[in-house]
Structure 1
Amino acid sequence: MATTLYLLRRLLQAVVVIFIVTVVVFCLLHSLPGGPARGILGAQATPQQLAQFNREQGLDKPLVVQYVIYLGQLLRGDLGVSYTYNQSVAQLIVQRLPKTLVLTILQAVVALVIAIPLGMWQAARRNRPIDYVITTVSFVAYSAPAFFLGLILIIVFSQTIRLFPSTAPGGDTLASVFAQPQALVLPVVTGAAAMVAVFSRYMRSSTLENLGEDYVRTARAGGASGTGILVRHVFRNSLTSVVAMLGYYVPVLFGGSLVVEQLFNYPGMGLLFWNAAQSSDYPVLLGCVLIISVATVVGTLLADVLQTIIDPRVKAGRA
């Protein structure tokens, strides 16, 4: 019962945050220099064109009425029309979002598969030379910009060794993305490198913290081996902080996709946002911002749900 109340409270908070996000996006649209009409039609638009556009879009109504109309459009899935593609923003996002999700999920899976055992292995060998070496490499990988790492990978593995293509798979469908799995290697590695550095550090710290708990000393006194303690006892408890960080890392993943997708010409949300920024396609820009913001809220909500499943202490402490 207490867990259910906690989850309902978190769901209500998520709804409130999403409502605030819609208000912020609406304000961004109306804070454009000269208003939305001037920002969309450009500096060369005549007063007559601006007035006609405002009438057609309902921008001559009071702001409160405009927001209610805008909110109603969002509830119907209407995010406006792209003036560059002459296509609905919702349709563009539906085409591009699954590809970005595939890329980000692959990056997260690869990063976690490497970072979790690496962090535990470092904790088991703390303060040894190999621990210091991995820590140094992690800091370098974390501090290296994604575009720089991507360029290095392209030069080494695409132009010098010629193992992988320098561009990601194209096409309008997910099938076309999976049709060239070798073309996904460099984008996935580029995005996963910084995540490995971050999550291995969190896993190391969490594992070290749990190794000092009473239940570990009890297990050792009972004759359990070091590996058995790590796998059976410490592993699950150490995942809590990693799961929490994964939810909060959602905006970083989407932000990183902007660089990775532009660098490798991957047809996802990041490339869509980049092209919209180049052409001042404000409906697409604001639609992308709204979707990424909602994804961030949903990601943090899922992280809290997973925490209650993994660690019973979270249920007791937050309910």
Structure 2
Amino acid sequence: MTGYLLRRLVQSLIVVVLVAILTFTLLQMLPGGPTRAILGPKATQQQIDTFKQQNGYDKPVVVQFFHWAGGVLHGDLGYSYKLNQPVTDVIAEHLPKTLVLMALSTAVALVLAVPIGVYQARKRDTLGDYTVTGLSFAFYAMPSFFLGELLILLFAIELHWFSPAGPNGNTLGEIFSQAPSLILPVATLALITVASFSRYVRSSVMENLSQDYVRTALAGGASDGQVMVRHVLRNSLIPIVTLLGLTLPQLFAGALITEQVFNYPGMGFIFVQGAQVHDYPILLGIGLVVAVATVVGSLLADIGYAVLDPRVKY
């Protein structure tokens, strides 16, 4: 177990470093470089030269990267010249709001996907199975911005049930105080995610239903419901642990667009705003945080799967 964890930690660290190098390099390729992106197109050459000297942008790219990486190791992700505050403070303020959105949408998706997947497995190759499969593929293929706009048109503009904008506030308390405004953003992410989860649950339940232990339990007098709850469902949900970790990038990407559609002040919203105004430090800092979160999620999923399933060898 210890050796397995060490190997995975080393692999995760290598991935994070490679992602940081790639992100840093790509942002260096912005038109005019990061200095021009930060100061804007109207900056004079003298202003650009002065800014480069003051902030180390006149040094080679490799030196700049190691200077930035050294700051990261000390908890310094840079300074947003557009927002006029440290990137660490910006992320600390907006990341919890994105995590709330992702956690709620994931929980809703799981609550819906498990019974849907079980129903499809038990009613496979029937009209109900085909209907749910068609709807699942439709939601899975639907862009989050398009689904969000549809929900706004239907439930906010036509029916006037919910607000077309997400909750706004500087704290989580203010966000939760506007809970009804969370419904449409959460529904947008959940409906896209539930399609993926339900397909995995369906396949896993079908595989477990064909196992010998199911026939043995039924022959021993257990009812269909008891076998499904005590044996099949419990074993079928193990792969979902891995799926949760692997869907983190998809959730972050969906949250990025969804927050913009609903004007929700999370980290995705700040990232889009930073991209529009070429806020180089914000883009670099958020990109690194997402990379770390994705790698950690994958690592936890692998460990969880190995712990829950005794058939997995470290």
Is the CA contact (8 Å cut-off) linking 1:259 and 1:270 kept in structure 2? yes
Instruction: Supply the distance in 2 between the matched residues of 1:295 and 1:100 (Cα, whole angstroms).
Output: 12
Instruction: Determine the structure 1 residue equivalent to 2:222.
Output: 224
Task: In structure 2, give the amino acid aligned to 1:137.
Answer: L
Amino acid at match of 2:303: V
Q: Aligned match of 2:303 in 299, 302, 305? A: 305
C-alpha contact (below 8 Å) 1:39/1:282 kept by paired residues: yes
> How far does residue 177 in structure 1 lie from its aligned partner after superposition?
0.5
- Residue 170 of structure 2 aligns to a residue in which SS? coil
In structure 2, what is the equivalent of residue 128 of structure 1? 126
Aligned to 2:171: 173
Shift of 1:250: 0.4
The answer on 1:240 being equivalent to 2:206 is no
My pick for the range that moved more, 260-269 or 42-51, is: 42-51
SS at match of 1:313: coil
Q: d(CA) in 2 for partners of 1:205 and 1:278?
A: 42
Equivalent residue pairs, number? 314
Deviation, 1:72, is 1.0
**Aligned counterpart for 2:99 among listed residues 84, 98, 101:** 101
In the alignment, which of 28, 31, 50 is matched to residue 30 of structure 1? 28
Deviation at 1:36, TM superposition (A): 2.1
Aligned residue for 1:53? 51
1:84 corresponds to which of 79, 82, 85: 82
2:13 is paired with a residue whose SS is helix
Per the TM alignment, residue 20 of structure 1 is displaced from its structure 2 partner at its CA by 1.6
The aligned residue for residue 274 of structure 2 is 276
- Asked if structure 2 preserves the Cα contact closer than 8 Å seen for 1:114 and 1:196, the reply is yes
1:214 to 193, 212, 217: 212
Q: Is the 8 A contact 2:209 2:232 kept in 1?
A: yes
**CA distance in 2: counterparts of 1:76 and 1:286, whole angstroms:** 16
Can you list the C-alpha shifts for 1:35-63, whole angstroms capped at 9, x where unaligned?
A: 32223223333332222112111223343
Structure 2 match to 1:197: 195
User: Gaps (5+ residues) in structure 2?
Assistant: none
Question: Tell me, what secondary structure is at the counterpart of 2:311?
Answer: helix
| C-alpha distance in structure 1 between counterparts of 2:62 and 2:146, whole Å | 45
Please list every run of at least 4 consecutive aligned residues from structure 1 whose deviation after the TM superposition is greater than 4 angstroms. Answer: none
CA contact (8 A) 2:38 2:82 kept: no
Preserved contact between residue 109 and residue 190 of structure 2 (Cα < 8 Å): yes
Q: Of residues 14, 20, 28 in structure 1, which corresponds to 2:12?
A: 14
Deviation at 1:313, TM superposition (A): 1.4
SS of the equivalent of 1:45 reads: coil
- Could you say what secondary structure the match of 2:169 adopts? coil
Report the identity percentage. 52
Note if contact 1:246-1:303 (Cα within 8 Å) is conserved in structure 2: yes
Q: In structure 2, what is the Cα distance between the partners aligned to 1:310 and 1:47?
A: 60
Deviation larger for 63-72 or 167-176: 63-72
State whether residues 147 and 188 of structure 2, in contact with CA within 8 Å, keep that contact through their aligned partners in structure 1.
yes
TM-score (normalised: structure 2) = 0.95
Cα distance in 2, alignment partners of residues 27 and 144 from structure 1: 32
What secondary structure, in the 3-state scheme, does the structure 1 residue paired with 2:10 have? helix
Matched AA of 2:71: Q
- Whether the aligned pair in 2 keeps the contact of 1:236 and 1:310 (CA below 8 Å) is no
Q: Which amino acid aligns with 1:25?
A: T
Residues 267-318 of structure 1: CA deviation (Å, up to 9, x unaligned): 001110111122111211121111111111011011112212321112x2xx
Report Cα offsets for 1:79-119 as digits up to 9, x if no partner: 22212211111111110000000000000000001101210
Q: Give per-residue Cα distances to partners, 1:210-246, cap 9 Å, x unaligned.
A: 1112222222222222222221111222123222111
Which segment drifts farther, 42-51 or 256-265? 42-51
**Separation in 1, partners of 2:175, 2:207:** 41
Select between 57-66 and 254-263 the one with higher mean Cα deviation.
Answer: 57-66
Q: How does 1:107-186 map to 2 (within 5 A)?
A: 107-186=105-184
Name the counterpart of 1:64. 62
- 34 and 166 in structure 1: CA distance in 2 versus 1, 3 angstrom threshold: closer
Which stretches in structure 1 are left out of the alignment for 5+ residues?
Answer: none
Query: Partner amino acid for 2:265?
Result: P
| Post-superposition offset of 1:120 | 1.3
Separation of aligned partners in 1, 2:154 and 2:52: 53
> 1:6-34: per-residue Cα shift (whole Å, max 9, x none)?
22221221122112222222222322233
Q: Matched residue of 1:39: which SS?
A: helix
